[in-house]
Amino acid sequence: MRSLLLVLLVALPALGQSNVKVELEDVTDNRFAAGMLTGSLELRVTLTGTNLDKASAARVLIREARDDKGTDLAKNLKTPDFFGREYNNGTLQVGLASPSRAATRVKIKGTVELYVPSRDAANAIVKIDKALARLDAPLSSKALKAAKIELTPLSPAGYRKALESRKLDEKKLAEMRAEGKKQGVPEKEIEMMLELAQALDSSDREVAEGSIFLAGRRDAFDRIYRVDILGSDGQPIATPQRSTSMRGDDGIMTIVPSSAPPEDAALQLYVITQKARVTAPFELTVELP
């Protein structure tokens, strides 16, 4: 029995658990009334523990968050994206619903998740040589195929065509309006969101020189942490702008490099595989300001 316990303890790190702890840096209770904005409880946390420097990114997943008046603050939370460890001194933002004004503290249970690509280098770091040589055709890679990720680098013409097919017409607007109503979003708010979507729709059309466009499905983008462009020397080219625009389940990732990539540029994809994820449970009690 004792040896079995020992084996289990030793096996835990291999399963991707860690001794990482979550410490509260700041808490902001941003409360609204009488307008259209809704409030939120924002926490800024820092991570402590060993081997954190091996993690490229981290995120906090909330399992339970409740104030001392019983308000559930974890309702309808979306899974956050991984956030690069190089930003904001490694701190992470956690957004929760607004607690009761009468509450004095909040108890939170959750998991901190680290993305450590070096734990699964063969599958999590995928390099595709001369990736931009064949545009408007899916990237060819065994590793991507095994991960069931399909991405297509687009030519400027292909990009414009893709935008045209995504254009918000009356039918799509009606579908978005119906979806908003179904989710109980107030009508005024829905109209504002649609106006914003239409504005973004028109701004989509500006193409910066040297931009790289990758088209794919939502489930593919959900599993990609980052895409680097590697120059002829194998070094990443600086990319001051990158964004992913989703329309339904279709997405386009736009990467704007600081200089036009060479013809033989490679793409290096960081894929979020199960083995590259390390988790640590945590509990926090937050005194409300």
Partner 1 sequence: MKKSFRLARAGQAEACPTFSTPNEGWASARPALAMVMFVAAFALQAQKPAEVVVNQVNDRRSASSTFSNLTIGIELPSVEAKTVAASRVLVRTATDDSGADLVARDAEEPMLYPNVRDEGAISVSMTLNNPARTATKLREASGEIELYMPSKDPNSTADIAKVLPASGKPLSHKALKANGVEIAFLTAAQLDAENRKREEYARLELDESEVAVRIKDPQNRIHEMGYVDAKGELQRVSTRGDEGLTIISTWSGKPQPDWKLRVQMKTPKTVVRVPFVLKDIALP
User: Under the criterion CB under 8 A, does residue 104 sit at the interface with partner 1?
Assistant: yes
Interface with partner 1 by CB under 8 A: which range of 14-22, 27-35, 193-201, 215-223? 27-35
243-282: contacts with partner 1 (CB under 8 A): none
Within 13 Å and on the Cβ side, how many CA atoms surround 128?
24
CA angle 241, 243, 244 (to 5 degrees): 160
User: Under the criterion CB under 8 A, does residue 69 sit at the interface with partner 1?
Assistant: no
Alpha carbon distance 56, 83 (integer Å) = 8
The residue among 104 and 274 lying less far from partner 1, judged by its C-beta, is: 104
Quickly list DSSP for 170-187.
Answer: HHHHHHHHHHHHHTT--H
User: Under the criterion CB under 8 A, does residue 73 sit at the interface with partner 1?
Assistant: no
Quickly list DSSP for 203-216.
Answer: HTT---TT-EEEEE
User: Under the criterion CB under 8 A, does residue 195 sit at the interface with partner 1?
Assistant: no
Strand, coil or helix: what is 3?
helix
Among 9, 34, 203, 233, binds partner 1 (CB under 8 A): 34
Strand, coil or helix: what is 72?
strand
User: Under the criterion CB under 8 A, does residue 289 sit at the interface with partner 1?
Assistant: yes
User: Under the criterion CB under 8 A, does residue 33 sit at the interface with partner 1?
Assistant: yes
User: What is the pattern of x (binds partner 1, CB under 8 A) and - over residues 206-245?
Assistant: ----------------------------------------
Alpha carbon distance 78, 125 (integer Å) = 26
Among 31, 69, 105, 130, binds partner 1 (CB under 8 A): 31
Q: Which residues pair with 128 in a beta bridge?
A: 267
User: Under the criterion CB under 8 A, does residue 95 sit at the interface with partner 1?
Assistant: no
CA angle 106, 109, 111 (to 5 degrees): 140
Cα 253 to Cα 126, 218, 227, distances in angstroms: 17, 11, 9
Q: Least separation, in Å, of the C-beta of 89 and partner 1?
A: 14
User: Under the criterion CB under 8 A, does residue 188 sit at the interface with partner 1?
Assistant: no
Give the H or E element holding residue 40: strand 40-48
User: Under the criterion CB under 8 A, does residue 87 sit at the interface with partner 1?
Assistant: no
The residue among 37 and 137 lying less far from partner 1, judged by its C-beta, is: 37
Among 29, 67, 113, 204, binds partner 1 (CB under 8 A): 29
Alpha carbon distance 115, 152 (integer Å) = 25
Residue 63 near residue 110 (C-beta atoms within 8 A): yes
Q: Least separation, in Å, of the C-beta of 179 and partner 1?
A: 27
Interface with partner 1 by CB under 8 A: which range of 31-39, 112-120, 145-153, 266-274? 31-39
User: Under the criterion CB under 8 A, does residue 30 sit at the interface with partner 1?
Assistant: yes
Interface residues toward partner 1, by CB under 8 A:
26-35, 37, 39, 98, 101-102, 104, 287-289
